[in-house]
C-alpha cells in the first residue's frame, strides 16, 4: 500500500469490504516515540517528568536537540513563564511545539495519558494519519447509513429479536389497562388483534455515545474503518455497544437497540432503553408495582402521600436490582403498601429523562393556558401524542389510568386527583433548566394542574 490512500480506489471497494484495515496498516507505519534524554542534572525537575525534561531551554535549542529522525521528543520549561511546560517533537522533519499540561494525567488536548511517552505515541499516530490519509478520513463518514454494513446487521438483529420474542409468545399488547401488560400467544391471534401489537423495537432511541478506550483493534460500526490512536480511539454507545469515530457518530440515526448485556440496572436507566431491551411496552417494574398496589386495595389512607420506611424501600430496590426476574416474590415479602408506592416513586424519580420529558414540558404548560377546559383537554391530548416518545406515552397512559382509579377511592384514601397531583408532581415532571422565564416561576402550581387534568379526564386525553 502506498503511504497515500487512493480515494478513488477506496470508493470502488467501499461496499465490498466489511472490515477496512487500511488505516490500521497506516497506523503501523507511524513514527514511534523516541525520548531525547537530558544529560545534565536539572535541580527543579517536576516529579511527573522523567529525563525527557530539559529545564529552561529555548525553541532553537530544542530544535537542535531534536534534529534527526521523526518521533524524537523532549519536555522543556518556558524561559519566560515559570511552571509552563512545552512538549517539542519531531514530525515530518519539522519540530512541533505543544503546551503540555498535567493534572494527574498528561495532556495537550482532550485525551489524557498516564505517561508523556503514550501521549507522544498517540499524537504521532494522529498526525501521521491526518497527513497521509487526510482526504480519505474526510470522506469516510460520507457513506449513507443504508449502505453501511451495520444497517444490514441491525435489520437482521431486529428481526431476530422480534422472532425470539414471537417464538416465546412474548410480544406485548395493551388491551386492558387493569391487567397491565398482557403477554399474548402470538400463534393464537388473528390479524385484527395483531394490529394492536406494539413493536417496541421500532421506537426511536438516541445512542448514548461516550469516549472509549479500546483494547485490541477497534473498527467503526458506521463506516467500517479502523479507529486509530493509542486510546480514546472512538465513541461507544453505552446501551447497545455501537462503536464509531466521533465524526461518524454524528451521522448515526436514532435507532439504538439496547441489549440486556449492556444494561445492568433497572433504576436510573433511560425508559426507552429498558423497554427496547426487554421488549415490553413499558418498564415491567411499573406494571408490577401498580398491580401489587391494586391487589392490596386502594383504600389505604394517604396512598402515595405517606412514605414507607426508606430502609425498606431501599431493600426492595436492592433485591430487584439483584434479581429482577423474582420481582413478584420480592414484593410478597413486603407488608406495607407505602413501601411499594415508595419503590414506584423512586423508580420514576430515578429516570434520567422524566416521564413527562424535558422536551415536552413547555408544551404541557402552554396547553394549560388555553380556555375553556375543553380546549385545555384537547391541547393536552395533542401534546402527549405529539411530543412524548412512545415508551413515555405508554407508561404515562398506564400510570394515569391507575391514578384515576386511586382517586375514585378518595372518600377512603383521602387522595383526590388534586392531592395525588400535588404529591406526584415532582416525580413525574421536572422543571427543565431553560433559562429565566416563564417556566421556573410559579411552575409548580401549573404542573399540579396539568396532572390533575390528566387524571380527571384520562379517558378523553388518552384515546
Please, what is the minimum distance in Å from the beta carbon of residue 15 to Zn ion? 15
What is the enclosing helix (H) or strand (E) of 76?
strand 72-77
Q: Which residues bind Zn ion (CB under 5 A)?
A: 207, 220, 222-223, 237, 239-240, 242, 245, 248, 256
Please, what is the minimum distance in Å from the beta carbon of residue 119 to Zn ion? 24
Buried/exposed code over 348-365 (b: 16+ C-beta within 10 A; e: otherwise): beebeebbbbeebbbbbb
Tracing cell 525537575 back to the chain, one arrives at: 45
**Strand pairing report for 234-237 and 182-184:** unpaired
Q: How many helices and strands (H and E) does the chain possess?
A: 20, 11
Q: Which is nearer to Zn ion, 113 or 222 (CB)?
A: 222
Please, what is the minimum distance in Å from the beta carbon of residue 245 to Zn ion? 4
Give strand pairing partners of 255: 205
Please, what is the minimum distance in Å from the beta carbon of residue 313 to Zn ion? 31
Please, what is the minimum distance in Å from the beta carbon of residue 132 to Zn ion? 17
Q: Which is nearer to Zn ion, 128 or 222 (CB)?
A: 222
Please, what is the minimum distance in Å from the beta carbon of residue 98 to Zn ion? 26
Q: Which is nearer to Zn ion, 240 or 271 (CB)?
A: 240
Q: Which is nearer to Zn ion, 235 or 340 (CB)?
A: 235
Choose among 361, 355, 362, 358: nearest CA to 392. 355
Please, what is the minimum distance in Å from the beta carbon of residue 145 to Zn ion? 11
Q: Which is nearer to Zn ion, 22 or 70 (CB)?
A: 22
- State how far the Cα of 71 lies from the Cα of 117, in Å rounded to an integer: 10
- State how far the Cα of 49 lies from the Cα of 432, in Å rounded to an integer: 45
Q: Which is nearer to Zn ion, 239 or 404 (CB)?
A: 239
- State how far the Cα of 246 lies from the Cα of 109, in Å rounded to an integer: 15
Q: Which is nearer to Zn ion, 53 or 203 (CB)?
A: 203
- At residue 313, the 3 state secondary structure works out as helix
Please, what is the minimum distance in Å from the beta carbon of residue 397 to Zn ion? 26
**How many beta carbons lie within 10 A of that of residue 434, not counting itself?**
12
Residue 61 backbone dihedrals phi, psi, to 5 degrees: -65, -40
**Cα-based angle 82, 87, 92 (whole degrees, multiple of 5):** 150
Q: Which is nearer to Zn ion, 114 or 204 (CB)?
A: 204
- State how far the Cα of 407 lies from the Cα of 395, in Å rounded to an integer: 18
**Cα-based angle 440, 441, 446 (whole degrees, multiple of 5):** 90
Contact in structure between 128 and 96 (CB atoms under 8 Å): no
Please, what is the minimum distance in Å from the beta carbon of residue 209 to Zn ion? 8
- At residue 54, the 3 state secondary structure works out as strand
Q: Please give the C-alpha separations between residue 316 and each of 68, 296, 333, 338, in angstroms, as whole numbers.
A: 66, 17, 9, 12
Q: Which is nearer to Zn ion, 239 or 452 (CB)?
A: 239
Amino acid at each position: 500500500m502506498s503511504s497515500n490512500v487512493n480515494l478513488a480506489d477506496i470508493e470502488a471497494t467501499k461496499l465490498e469490504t466489511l472490515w477496512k484495515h487500511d488505516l490500521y496498516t497506516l497506523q503501523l507505519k507511524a513514527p514511534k516515540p523516541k525520548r531525547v534524554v537530558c544529560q545534565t542534572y536539572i535541580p527543579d525537575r517536576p516529579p511527573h517528568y522523567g529525563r525527557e525534561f530539559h529545564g529552561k531551554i529555548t525553541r532553537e535549542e530544542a530544535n537542535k536537540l531534536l534534529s534527526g529522525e521523526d518521533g524524537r521528543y523532549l519536555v522543556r520549561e518556558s524561559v519566560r513563564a515559570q511552571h509552563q511546560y512545552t512538549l517539542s517533537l519531531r514530525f515530518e522533519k519539522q519540530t512541533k511545539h505543544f503546551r503540555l499540561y498535567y493534572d494527574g494525567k498528561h495532556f495537550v488536548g482532550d485525551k489524557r495519558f498516564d505517561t508523556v511517552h503514550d501521549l507522544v505515541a498517540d499524537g504521532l499516530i494522529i498526525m501521521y494519519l491526518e497527513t497521509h490519509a487526510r482526504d480519505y478520513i474526510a470522506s469516510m463518514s460520507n457513506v449513507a447509513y443504508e449502505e453501511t454494513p451495520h444497517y444490514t446487521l441491525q435489520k437482521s438483529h431486529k428481526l431476530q429479536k422480534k422472532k425470539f420474542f414471537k417464538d416465546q409468545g412474548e410480544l406485548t399488547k395493551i388491551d386492558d389497562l387493569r391487567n397491565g401488560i398482557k403477554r399474548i400467544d402470538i400463534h393464537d391471534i388473528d390479524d385484527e388483534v395483531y394490529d394492536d401489537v406494539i413493536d417496541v423495537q421500532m421506537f426511536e432511541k438516541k445512542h448514548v455515545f461516550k469516549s472509549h478506550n479500546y483494547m485490541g483493534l477497534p473498527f467503526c460500526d458506521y463506516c467500517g474503518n479502523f479507529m486509530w490512536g493509542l486510546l480514546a480511539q472512538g465513541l461507544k454507545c453505552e446501551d447497545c455497544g455501537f462503536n464509531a469515530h466521533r465524526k461518524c457518530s454524528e451521522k448515526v440515526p436514532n435507532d439504538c437497540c439496547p441489549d440486556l448485556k449492556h444494561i445492568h440496572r433497572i433504576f436510573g436507566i433511560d425508559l426507552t432503553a429498558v423497554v427496547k431491551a426487554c421488549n415490553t411496552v413499558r418498564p415491567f417494574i411499573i406494571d408490577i408495582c401498580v398491580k401489587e398496589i391494586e391487589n392490596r386495595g386502594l383504600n389505604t389512607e394517604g396512598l402515595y402521600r405517606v412514605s414507607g420506611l426508606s430502609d425498606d424501600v431501599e431493600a426492595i430496590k436492592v433485591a430487584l436490582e439483584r434479581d429482577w426476574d423474582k420481582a413478584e416474590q420480592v414484593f410478597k415479602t413486603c407488608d406495607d403498601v407505602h413501601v411499594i408506592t415508595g419503590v414506584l416513586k423512586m423508580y420514576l424519580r430515578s429516570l434520567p429523562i422524566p416521564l413527562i420529558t424535558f422536551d415536552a414540558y413547555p408544551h404541557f404548560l402552554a396547553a394549560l393556558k388555553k380556555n375553556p377546559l375543553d380546549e385545555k383537554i384537547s391541547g393536552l391530548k395533542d401534546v402527549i401524542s405529539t411530543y412524548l416518545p412512545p415508551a413515555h406515552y405508554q407508561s404515562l397512559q398506564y400510570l394515569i389510568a391507575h391514578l384515576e382509579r386511586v382517586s375514585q377511592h378518595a372518600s377512603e384514601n383521602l387522595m383526590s386527583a388534586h392531592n395525588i397531583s400535588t404529591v406526584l408532581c415532582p416525580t413525574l415532571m421536572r422543571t427543565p433548566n431553560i433559562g429565566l422565564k416563564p417556566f421556573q416561576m410559579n411552575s409548580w402550581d401549573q404542573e399540579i394542574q396539568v396532572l390533575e387534568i390528566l387524571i380527571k379526564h384520562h379517558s378523553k386525553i388518552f384515546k
